[in-house]
Structure 1
Amino acid sequence: MHVDVMDLMAKLKSSEEAFVLATVVRTVSVTAAKAGAKAIIRPDGTIAAGWIGGGCARGAVLRAATQSLRDGKARLVSIQPGDLLADLGVKPGEARGGVQFARNMCPSQGTMDVFVEPVLPRPSLIVFGASPVALALAAQARPLGFNVTLAAPADDLGEAPDVDHLIDGFAIEPETKGERYLVVSTQGRGDEAALKAAVAARADYIGFVGSHRKMAALKQELTEVGIEPAALDRVKGPAGLDIGAITPEEIALSVLAEIISIRRRGQRGETAQQA
């Protein structure tokens, strides 16, 4: 069945599924696919829609797609005959100047450059509570590209907040795929219940909005009711970078800054070091 690349791409993005968009950007001599050809590659290595040529190019592109989904970085793959690679002084599999080279083993001996772009689900931010800081977090996170869930008792909320998902209470899914960051900002209204739910879930970060003293007291209380100390040690409390924040909006900003610093750690690479 023919599947339109752009239609499928829209569906996968709306359902928060990871995939790679591979686009042929240049061809030289005889190649099966021409510039502009596109394909959607799923995490399992299958081509879900589109076409980028036959086996001469497919293996190299699929390998690059797997790498891109793993590290979140786009790649330009240049598939060339062996003699041209030798003229350039590069070996198959070598990367130089932002280009990853591969050998074209087909008799056609054409050259094809393919841009491999990972399209990843938005990182998930789950905010526990309906406090002013919680609402500020939800409002600030969406423009930054987060898929925001607010978990709070419905009775604690006034108007429905502008979030992607709203949970009545603190019961969240303990296991999900992709990046997930949790912030407990209940501020006295269900602190223990929210922390229990947070530490029972898989997360890349768990933050608690509150003082050191409050965090220490909650750890002791939860330990006494059977929560493992190691689980509680995952919680960063107080959450956020120390920027001297005072207002709810400033506190929310400090928490998001901390989350972003964790997300981007190691992603800027040599460019950031040279800047």
Structure 2
Amino acid sequence: MLDLVNNMKARGEPFALATVVRTVSLTAAKAGAKAVILSDGTMTAGWIGGGCARSNVLKAARQSLSDGQPRLISVQPKDVLEEQGLKAGDAQDGVLYANNMCPSHGSMDIFVEPILPRPQLYICGASPVAVAISAIAPRMGFFVSVCAPSADHTLFEGVDRLIDAYEIPPESGGNRYVVVSTQGRGDTAALKSALSSPSVYVAFVGSRKKASVLKEELAAAGITPSLLETLHAPAGLDLGAITPDEIALSIVAEMVEIRRRGQRQPDTQKQEGTI
């Protein structure tokens, strides 16, 4: 199973790891049992018990992969839950409770941890804003690749990958963010590459007027209007940013806002969540 987990991490595939952390009385699986669960709810490796726990764990895994939050599920017989003043679907002190309808009448606590790949950020260009973004984004959890002429690579420190020129690799995946900050050096080529495949976020660092002219050029080059509409230009949240560092901060803040959109819920909702 360890090889499978490492291979999935290397491929950037999201999955959940379910681990039995405690058992009481008779249970099919014992503490330490593990299973790997895919985003569609398929258990691809390992074992954490029979149907009594399986359906609840698979449901929790899908939810964890959706919102990025781990879950602790306690599967107990109905009468045991009632003795504690609980029922299936209750959440208390960070634990989600579910019924064990199996004849064994045992109890199991299972920890479900989502393993999500780092979002891929491609920075096209070597402008001061590009350099500033490359310094901030890794601290926000992004895997940073810089696409720029090799002569400019010395401007960047601590990034994950350096790519010559502005061509983004086709295997960059779906969880992709792209910022084009070429400052007049290869703007059109970089934007064509950025819009070549679906991305979560594509942004252009430059004025609204310049972006409009570039959009016209891209449209004439065959880029579809629907793709051009996804371009964030000017890039970043409206923070009144002026300096390269401030502009970079506004762009990374916009990426974080998009990345986390829908993941955060009011505390009351979290407490009342069900599995």
TM value normalised by structure 2:
0.85
Deviation for aligned residue 1:175: 6.5
**1:106-150, Cα deviation, whole Å (9 max, x unpaired):** 221011111111010001111111212112212211122111111
The counterpart of 1:266, out of the listed 262, 269, 275, is 262
Match for residue 238 of structure 2? 242
The counterpart of 2:115, out of the listed 79, 94, 119, is 119
1:96 corresponds to 2:91: yes
1:19 corresponds to 2:15: yes
Q: Contact 1:121–1:178 (CA<8 Å) still a contact in 2?
A: no
CA distance, structure 1, for counterparts of residue 169 and residue 217 of structure 2 = 24
1:39 corresponds to 2:35: yes
Deviation for aligned residue 1:210: 0.8
Match for residue 160 of structure 2? 164
Mean Cα deviation higher: 188-197 or 222-231 = 222-231
- Once the two structures are aligned, what percentage of the paired residues are identical? 56
Deviation for aligned residue 1:159: 5.5
Match for residue 74 of structure 2? 78
**1:6-29, Cα deviation, whole Å (9 max, x unpaired):** x65455434433221212233222
How many residues are matched? 268
The counterpart of 1:139, out of the listed 135, 139, 148, is 135
Q: 1:82 to 1:148 in 2, by over 3 A?
A: same
The counterpart of 1:54, out of the listed 26, 46, 50, is 50
Which ranges in structure 2 are unaligned for 5 or more consecutive residues? 271-275
- Aligned-pair RMSD on alpha carbons? 2.7
* Higher RCO structure, 1 or 2 (CA under 8 Å, sep 6+): 2
Deviation for aligned residue 1:82: 2.7
SS of 1:269's equivalent in the other structure is: coil
Match for residue 129 of structure 1? 125
SS of 1:188's equivalent in the other structure is: coil
Q: Contact 2:131–2:155 (CA<8 Å) still a contact in 1?
A: no
Q: Counterparts in 2 of 1:183-198, with a 5 A limit?
A: 183-198=179-194
TM value normalised by structure 1:
0.85
